[in-house]
Structures are given as structure tokens and as C-alpha cells.
Amino acid sequence: MKSIRLKTASFFPKTVRAIGAVFCIFGLGMVWTSPIIGLLFLFITIVLFTTHYGFEIMLAPNSFREFVWVLGWKEGKSSAFKAVEFLFIQRGTFRFLTYALREQEQPAFEGYLKFEGRNEVHALTDVDKDRLITKMQALAKTLNVPIKDYSEGNPIIVFEP
């Protein structure tokens, strides 16, 4: 069974990951004085830095799954599809927390997969359109589908397999 996996976004915002870096420093310092507490801090750091959202397409049974990845365990429900028609890009916004715990928005581009007989599924987001197209080209080559750009209004084919 051939599958394609993508890491779509970190689960925890930057502020929480910054706290994880502080936990790492405390954990490393405490390993020598109180090993159990130090290892607990290091374990929390690993969870904060590695937990992420992901997307997986299984080509043999034609199914996909959006999941949350925590220490190798993926939680998410699989859904079947007939075929992937194309990938497409459209304008969107990227929301994130600043270190001051304020939410901020930035213009971004979002990449989607369009399945036959159903709506689209979000796969990737990037603030740079060219970088997003580069990321999506590898997926488009594997799936043998075109990439359409809807960010300027009318669709423009930016990649043809």
C-alpha cells in the first residue's frame, strides 16, 4: 500500500513551543539533581516540539486521513475517495499567536486537493506562493494531477504532469 504523508502545521503555537524550550533548559538542569522531574520536563518538551497536524493519502484503497501526530501515534478518521482531480491554490490568511499571546493575521496561500465527487481538502499553507507551488509539485507528480492557481481569480494551470 503506497501512501503519501504531509506535515501540514504544528499543533502548538509558537508561544507554547517557546515555553517548551524553557522546559528543555529546566529539564537538562534538573536531570542531575532530580532525574525523574528532569526527564518529565524533557518528555513534555519532546511532545510540544513534535506534535503536529498531518495529512495522509493511501493510494491502494483510495482513502485519505487528516490526523494529529503525537509521538508516532496518529489520530484521525479515514475517508474514501474515487480519484484526485487536481490540486489548487487560493488566497487565504495565516493566523498565529505572537510571543505576547496576541493573535495576528498574515496574508497567505492555501493548497487544496480536489477529490472527484466530493469537496476539497486543505493540505498546505504558506505565505510564499512560489514555495507552496514547489511543495505541491512533488505531490502533483506522485498523483499525476495538475495544479491550478485560483489566487488571482480565474484558474491558471501552474503545473501539468
Q: Quick one: what percent of the chain has pLDDT higher than 70?
A: 94
- pLDDT single digits (tens) 4-40: 887 878 888 878 888 899 999 999 999 999 999 999 9
3-state class (DSSP) for residue 13: coil
Residue 55 pairs in a beta bridge with 6, 66
Every domain of the chain and the residues it spans: 1-80, 81-161
Q: Are 115 and 83 in contact (CB under 8 A)?
A: yes
For position 96, what pLDDT does the model report?
A: 64
Mean pLDDT, the chain, rounded, equals 85
Residue 79 has pLDDT above 70, yes or no: yes
Confidence of residue 119 (pLDDT cuts 50, 70, 90): confident
Q: Are 78 and 54 in contact (CB under 8 A)?
A: no
Can you state the angle between helices 14-30 and 35-50, rounded to 10 degrees?
Answer: 160
Residues 6 or more apart in contact with residue 39 via CB below 8 angstroms? 27, 31
Cell numbers describing residue 148: 491550478
SS (H, E, C) 89-148: EEEEEEEEECCCCCEEEEEEEEEEEEECCCCEEEEEEECCHHHHHHHHHHHHHHHCCCEE
3-state class (DSSP) for residue 12: coil
Cell numbers describing residue 16: 507554547
3-state class (DSSP) for residue 30: helix
Size (the chain), residues: 161
